[in-house]
Chains A and B, each alone.
Chain A
Amino acid sequence: MNIPAELKYTKSHEWLKAEADGSYAIGLTDYAQKQLGDIVFINLPAEGDTVTAGEAMADVESVKAVSDVFSPVTGTIAAVNEDLMDEPQQMNQAPYDAWIAKIGDVTATEELLSAKEYETFCSSAKE
């Protein structure tokens, strides 16, 4: 399983990357995309939407099921990756390049895990 050391993670399987401009890019982890299977649709938030840490900010659908994407932070949507609307399979193929949204004006953060902690969390979740 691919868990890049430089990213932060949530227990709901989002990754979080600090951008140079102070915003955070959010995506789904390799573990999450494997669990979901072939992703065929994403419902993105809109730029300017406010999001709350721990609450749904988008949903992704595999052939079989719908899953919420939870925002790891409280803030405002600064950008969304509209390429995913046409090519949602990017989330399967390159989960750490396929950012879903960038969130700015961050005022609060969920409990975040380091790569090491997230790896431990995933292996315990399997059992």
Chain B
Amino acid sequence: MEKITPLYQTHLVEGGKMVPFAGYLLPVQYPTGVIAEHMAVRTACGLFDVSHMGEFVFRGEGALATLNHLLTNDFTNMAAGRVRYTAMCLSDGGTVDDLVIYKFADDCYLAVVNAANRGKDYAHMAANLLADTEIEDISDNVAQLALQGPNAKEILAHLIDPELLPQKYYTAVREVILAGIPCMISRTGYTGEFGYELYTAADDAPRLWKLLRDVGKEHGLIPCGLGARDTLRLEAAMPLYGHEMDEAVTPLEAGLDFAVKLQKPEFIGRDALLAAGAPKRVRVGLKATGRGILREEQDVYCDGVKIGRTTSGTFAPYLKQAIAMALVDAAHTTVGTAVEVDVRGRRVPAEIVPLPFYKRG
């Protein structure tokens, strides 16, 4: 039996087509459809319910040391109000999850994890806490809305003095009041577009959604479902756990080296990553040059030899072409390399292209 988010009734009223995802019933799309929702985020604004995400609070004198032990990124010189992306590894270097860390104070941090991994992550983190650290799963009390698109700031300006909003990418303001509703707002997102994520109490979520919808109307805001969330993140080449990486793929293979600080003295998985050396397979971007839509889990060939497999693929609505990410042998990653993808028995020509596919102008 799937769980529901605090916005379940709201989605039904909005005409959302509800599907099971990561243990929750969530809208895959609204009556506007995936392409219109995708384009709204690129050109105006979209509103997403991402309340399924998991949230854990780390408290105590040992919180920083614990995060540096558990996670691949380095949080030592992080200022309060900053947000940092990271991976979390097993001791063999495989990826437990990817997540973001919010720093509130030297002894207080928030981790936002993938819904599907919430239970596993909590167990792994709780089992590896260092001294003087507490962890608390607050997910069920927290709703999260993502307001994504070039018009996001103008929309929020109806509800709050824009000076009070987080100004820089990957920063957050912890306690702001939006039309009477206490929120935390960060300049973050999973779309490759300008935007914010808003955290609020579960009980306040339906009212916040309605407020945003009302003031957003004149700015082209529409509700967006999981379908557009996936095509947007894929166009922006953002990895999705369970696709681009999992416990059998290291964050270095997944191309997340910017979030893996091997120069840190210690973290779980560091020894294995160092021992493995340069990755033998890496994440690349593919663009179909022949007719067909590339999907996940399709074999990739170069000169007739299998070199890897796609991890995600779709028709990219903004770029209007079939794109995919793939994990391929490190010897075949040169941009421009001609490959073929086995699309249900048909070899579709494709080429290796730089990532991201889409970058905000």
A59 vs B28: C-alpha distance in the bound complex, in angstroms? 22
In residues 31-70 of chain A, which contact B (Cβ within 8 Å)?
37-38, 40-41, 43, 59, 61-64, 66
Q: Are A64 and B34 in contact (CB under 8 A)?
A: yes
Q: Are A66 and B29 in contact (CB under 8 A)?
A: no
- With both chains docked as a complex, state the minimum distance between the C-beta of B43 and any C-beta of chain A, in angstroms: 16
A37 vs B230: C-alpha distance in the bound complex, in angstroms? 15
Chain A residues with CB below 8 A from B291, complex form = 41, 43, 85
Q: Considering the complex, give the chain A residue whose CB is closest to the CB of B288.
A: A41
- With both chains docked as a complex, state the minimum distance between the C-beta of B342 and any C-beta of chain A, in angstroms: 14
A62 vs B228: C-alpha distance in the bound complex, in angstroms? 12
Q: Mark B221-260, 1 if CB is under 8 A from A, else 0.
A: 0000001001100000000000000000000000000000
Q: Are A38 and B35 in contact (CB under 8 A)?
A: yes
Q: Considering the complex, give the chain A residue whose CB is closest to the CB of B35.
A: A38
Q: How large is the interface on B (under 10, 10 to 19, 20 to 34, 35 or more residues)?
A: 10 to 19
Q: Considering the complex, give the chain A residue whose CB is closest to the CB of B344.
A: A66
Q: Are B227 and A37 in contact (CB under 8 A)?
A: yes
Q: Are B315 and A63 in contact (CB under 8 A)?
A: yes
- With both chains docked as a complex, state the minimum distance between the C-beta of B250 and any C-beta of chain A, in angstroms: 29
User: Any chain A CB within 8 A of the CB of B314?
Assistant: yes
Name the residue in A40, A43, A63, A85 with the highest tally of chain B Cβ atoms < 10 Å from its Cβ.
A63
Q: Are B292 and A43 in contact (CB under 8 A)?
A: yes
Chain A residues with CB below 8 A from B230, complex form = 64
A37 vs B30: C-alpha distance in the bound complex, in angstroms? 10
- With both chains docked as a complex, state the minimum distance between the C-beta of B19 and any C-beta of chain A, in angstroms: 10
A37 vs B29: C-alpha distance in the bound complex, in angstroms? 9
Chain B residues with CB below 8 A from A41, complex form = 291-293, 315, 322
A96 vs B46: C-alpha distance in the bound complex, in angstroms? 32
Chain B residues with CB below 8 A from A38, complex form = 33-35, 317
Q: A37-B34, A38-B35 are in contact. Are A63 and B231 (CB under 8 A)?
A: yes
A58 vs B346: C-alpha distance in the bound complex, in angstroms? 13
Q: Mark B145-170, 1 if CB is under 8 A from A, else 0.
A: 00000000000000000000000000
Count contacts on A: residues with CB < 8 A to the other chain.
Answer: 12
Q: Considering the complex, give the chain B residue whose CB is closest to the CB of A62.
A: B34
Q: Are A64 and B35 in contact (CB under 8 A)?
A: no
Chain B residues with CB below 8 A from A40, complex form = 35, 293, 315, 317
Interface of A is mostly: strand
- With both chains docked as a complex, state the minimum distance between the C-beta of B358 and any C-beta of chain A, in angstroms: 15
Q: A37-B34, A37-B227, A38-B34 are in contact. Are A66 and B317 (CB under 8 A)?
A: no
Q: Considering the complex, give the chain A residue whose CB is closest to the CB of B320.
A: A40
Q: Are B293 and A37 in contact (CB under 8 A)?
A: no
Chain B residues with CB below 8 A from A62, complex form = 34
A125 vs B33: C-alpha distance in the bound complex, in angstroms? 21
The listed residue (B28, B33, B38, B293) touching A66 by CB distance below 8 A is B293
- With both chains docked as a complex, state the minimum distance between the C-beta of B213 and any C-beta of chain A, in angstroms: 22
Chain B residues with CB below 8 A from A64, complex form = 28, 34, 227, 230, 314
In residues 274-304 of chain B, which contact A (Cβ within 8 Å)?
291-293, 295
Q: A37-B29, A37-B227 are in contact. Are A66 and B295 (CB under 8 A)?
A: yes
- With both chains docked as a complex, state the minimum distance between the C-beta of B133 and any C-beta of chain A, in angstroms: 41
Q: Considering the complex, give the chain A residue whose CB is closest to the CB of B29.
A: A37
Q: Are A63 and B295 in contact (CB under 8 A)?
A: no
Name the residue in B35, B38, B230, B344 with the highest tally of chain A Cβ atoms < 10 Å from its Cβ.
B35
Q: Considering the complex, give the chain A residue whose CB is closest to the CB of B38.
A: A63
A106 vs B33: C-alpha distance in the bound complex, in angstroms? 37
A103 vs B314: C-alpha distance in the bound complex, in angstroms? 31
- With both chains docked as a complex, state the minimum distance between the C-beta of A39 and any C-beta of chain B, in angstroms: 10
A78 vs B341: C-alpha distance in the bound complex, in angstroms? 30
Q: A38-B34, A40-B293, A66-B295 are in contact. Are A61 and B344 (CB under 8 A)?
A: no
A37 vs B293: C-alpha distance in the bound complex, in angstroms? 15
A99 vs B314: C-alpha distance in the bound complex, in angstroms? 25
- With both chains docked as a complex, state the minimum distance between the C-beta of A3 and any C-beta of chain B, in angstroms: 20
Name the residue in B34, B322, B346 with the highest tally of chain A Cβ atoms < 10 Å from its Cβ.
B34
The 9 closest A-B pairs by CB, nearest first: A40-B315, A63-B34, A38-B35, A61-B293, A38-B33, A41-B293, A64-B227, A38-B34, A37-B33
What are 17 A-B interface contacts by the 8 Å CB criterion?
A: A37-B33, A37-B34, A38-B33, A38-B34, A40-B315, A41-B292, A41-B293, A41-B315, A43-B291, A59-B344, A63-B34, A63-B35, A64-B28, A64-B34, A64-B227, A64-B230, A66-B344
A: residues with CB less than 8 A from B are: 37-38, 40-41, 43, 59, 61-64, 66, 85
